[in-house]
Structure 1
Amino acid sequence: MREDLDASSEFNSLTLLYFLNRWRKPMASVLVLALVASFVFSSPWFIKPMFKSVVIMYPVSTSGISKVLLNEANTPQQDVMEFGAEEQTEQMIQILNSNLIRDKVISKYDLMKHYGIEKSSRRALTRLYDEYTANIEFRRTENMAIKITVYDADPVVAANIANDISMLYDSTKTFMQHERAQQAYHIVESEYLKLQSEIKAMEDSLTELRKLGVYDYETQSEMMNPSNPSSS
């Protein structure tokens, strides 16, 4: 039985060697073609290499410096220079993802043309925004920082966009805060004007009473009240 197994194993080995020897040239040709194809299709002529640029930003706490320095309550003092917590980090991501920053970057670098998108093509804006989202991302790190990552076929463009976004953050945040302050101002102004109108109406009523000879309103109103015992 053992001799039969040895003979079978030897036969299989010889068969394999015979097969490899017979088909060595076609197999070698296929291997060479596969290597050439992998080199060609992975070259820059078919796949553009993407360069990555990274900027790290740390949000600062929004607590006012005067509030920290003039803290009269018996509460733990806050560090004036401390970085922001989770709330500030999330706010920062929202601002970085805002249409204001996106549209400024798209306009400055003419990304529609840069990404090879025809303006007259169907869904051109959708494709542009998809490319922007795919190539520019904002992530929160473990240290509550924001990591801005930009991918582009041009390393200089990638670096410039990343730096510009980091610089646009402050001006965009200031603009948004100004807009909210303006809205709050208009609400307060509207309430103030409403109150002023009510006060004027009351003053007009008092003026009419003075014309009728009523000056000491409380005393005279009590005297004129029939139910008041002192008036009898």
Structure 2
Amino acid sequence: MNWILIQQYLTKHCRTIGILTLIASVLGVIVSLPAIMKPKYKSRVVFYPSNIKPYSKESETEQALQIMEASDIRDSVIAQFDLYKHYDIAPNKPASLFYMNGMYAENIRINKTGYEALEVVVVDEDPQLAYDMTNAIVKFYNKKVKQLHEGKSNEVAALYLVQMQQLQHHIDSLAIINQSIRVRYGVLDFDIQVEQASKAALNGNNSSEAQMLLTNLAKYGNESQNLSIQINGLRKEYTKSLAFYFNALRERNNKFTYCNIIISPAMADKKHYPVRWLIVLTMALSTLLLSCVGAIIIEVRKQQ
């Protein structure tokens, strides 16, 4: 079969093909009428995530995308806007959650842009609702990130609080032992007392009290000195832990912004869907193609 023969077949049926294409175009116009195919409106927000602490090797945008897909954000949006009623889904029927998740995924899209920003697109028959839902998703995202940060900061603060309590207990125990040595044996400051006792001995002061002090210094001085060194070291560790503890509390109480909005949501004044000309064109071209194929098949069968 050559092109000339195909052209003859199509010319023979051109009137039928034209009528079918025209009918398809009219049907496309009718189908895309608001009474049949309800128009939907789009609201969109684009933002860069910020102040997200890394939990893995993922970028801030990838982590923000995971947070956006959190079930509690979705559940909060569903609850606030009563989407079961809005989408006409009976919540008590089997598979209601499945259908709700399907409608949510169909009308709410969250994507990463090529510039490492996040884009949230909400489509709905009510432009005001689409706008409100877009703002609510951003609000719930900020709330979720804040909850994660507060939870992590509380864990860190609790960890350092326990560490400080343990250090303080150890410091108190060593201080009691050291204080007992000082009171019982008069060992107050090892270096100064050794120097003073040595001078007294050189000056001929060999009293029983001086001899007793030298004996106690020789016997308990190093122990007291080592205890003092340990206590000072533990106090330094306590000071470090205290600084980390207050830093965790400060992180928890900080009022951070977790997204830098690049394109703010706006209430649509023009429908996003359906695109009438695209529907009409698609139906017309599809019918034209199928009609041409059908005409060729009919003529080929006649020739057999």
Give the TM-score normalised by the residue count of structure 1: 0.60
Provide, for residues 71-119 of structure 1, a one-character-per-residue CA deviation record: whole Å limited to 9, x for no partner: xxxxxxxxxxxxxxx8332233233333343232222111111111101
2:107 paired with 1:135? yes
Contact 2:181 2:220 survives alignment (8 Å): no
In structure 2, the partner of 1:213 is 184
In structure 2, the partner of 1:50 is 40
In structure 1, the partner of 2:161 is 189
Secondary structure of the residue that 2:59 maps to in structure 1? helix
In structure 2, the partner of 1:120 is 92
Q: CA deviation at 1:51?
A: 2.2
Q: CA deviation at 1:53?
A: 1.5
Give the number of the structure whose residues are more often helix, by fraction. 2
Secondary structure of the residue that 1:165 maps to in structure 2? helix
Identity of aligned residues (%): 26
In structure 2, the partner of 1:105 is 77
Q: 1:127 to 1:191 in 2, by over 3 A?
A: farther
Q: 1:28 to 1:223 in 2, by over 3 A?
A: closer
Listed as ranges, the matches of 1:1-232 within 5 Å are 38-60=28-50, 87-206=59-178, 209-210=180-181, 213-214=184-185, 216=187, 219-221=218-220
> 2:222, 2:169 → 1: CA distance?
31
Q: CA deviation at 1:49?
A: 3.2
Q: CA deviation at 1:27?
A: 8.6
> 2:80, 2:170 → 1: CA distance?
52
Q: 2:218 is matched by which residue type in structure 1? A: T
Contact 2:77 2:133 survives alignment (8 Å): yes
> 2:168, 2:90 → 1: CA distance?
57
Q: Runs of 5+ in structure 2 lacking a partner?
A: 188-215, 224-304
Q: 1:186 to 1:220 in 2, by over 3 A?
A: same
More relative contact order, 1 or 2 (CA 8 Å, 6+ apart): 2
Aligned CA RMSD, in angstroms, stands at 4.1
Q: 1:215 to 1:116 in 2, by over 3 A?
A: farther
Q: 2:123 is matched by which residue type in structure 1? A: Y
Q: 2:144 is matched by which residue type in structure 1? A: T
Contact 1:214 1:220 survives alignment (8 Å): no
> 1:180, 1:35 → 2: CA distance?
60
Provide, for residues 153-209 of structure 1, a one-character-per-residue CA deviation record: whole Å limited to 9, x for no partner: 2222112211232344434333332222111111111222222233333344445x5
In structure 2, the partner of 1:4 is none
> 2:136, 2:174 → 1: CA distance?
57
Q: 1:197 to 1:160 in 2, by over 3 A?
A: same
Q: 1:16 to 1:159 in 2, by over 3 A?
A: closer
Q: 1:28 to 1:136 in 2, by over 3 A?
A: closer
Q: Runs of 5+ in structure 1 lacking a partner?
A: 1-8, 64-85, 225-232
> How many equivalent residue pairs?
187
> 2:64, 2:222 → 1: CA distance?
67
> 1:89, 1:38 → 2: CA distance?
41
Contact 1:57 1:166 survives alignment (8 Å): no
Q: 1:210 to 1:111 in 2, by over 3 A?
A: same
Secondary structure of the residue that 2:44 maps to in structure 1? strand
